């Protein structure tokens, strides 16, 4: 019986570790100062991100046949990536606190909300 209990405990520990590892993989792009944002299907994914002042996002065009763009216009900060070809990326660093909207000049309905604290 003791052997059975050990196996059960090991299975539970490995299950918990595996679950934690998979969660870590799913959120790895959103931890620390490297936040990966994908452009695919005329959408930003995720559509909302929270940052600290000075952190950046990396916008990756994950579409095979669409050119995208990423730009920000606000009173305190402006950025324009120009064309982002399929497979290419642009890095946007947010130097000031505030709520920003990243837009795609090619697809005006694409919006990414960025909250910087």
Domain CATH for 73: 2.60.40.420
- Kindly state whether residues 84 and 50 are assigned to the same domain: yes
- Kindly state whether residues 26 and 37 are assigned to the same domain: no
pTM for this prediction: 0.71
Each residue's pLDDT expressed in tens, for the chain with a length of 117 residues:
555 445 544 434 344 444 333 333 333 334 455 899 999 999 999 999 999 999 999 999 999 999 999 999 999 999 999 999 999 999 999 999 999 999 999 999 999 999 999
Residues 6+ apart with CB under 8 A from 68: 39, 59, 61, 83, 84, 104, 106, 107, 110
Side-chain-side CA neighbours of residue 99 (13 Å): 3
Domain span at 97: 32-116
- Kindly state whether residues 12 and 37 are assigned to the same domain: no
Spacing of C-alpha 91 from chain mean position:
12
d(CA 23, CA 32): 15
In DSSP terms, which residues pair with 73 in a beta bridge? 78
């Amino acid at each position: 019986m003791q052997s059975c209990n050990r196996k059960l405990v090991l299975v539970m520990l490995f299950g918990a570790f595996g679950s934690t590892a998979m969660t870590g993989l799913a959120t790895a792009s959103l931890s620390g100062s490297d936040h990966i944002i994908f452009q695919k299907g005329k959408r930003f994914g995720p559509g909302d991100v929270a940052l600290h002042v000075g952190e950046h996002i990396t916008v990756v065009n994950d579409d095979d046949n669409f050119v995208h763009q990423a730009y920000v216009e606000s009173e305190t900060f402006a950025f324009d990536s120009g064309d982002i070809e399929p497979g290419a990326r642009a890095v946007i660093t947010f130097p000031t606190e505030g709520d920003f909207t990243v837009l795609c000049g090619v697809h005006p309905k694409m919006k990414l909300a960025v909250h910087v604290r």
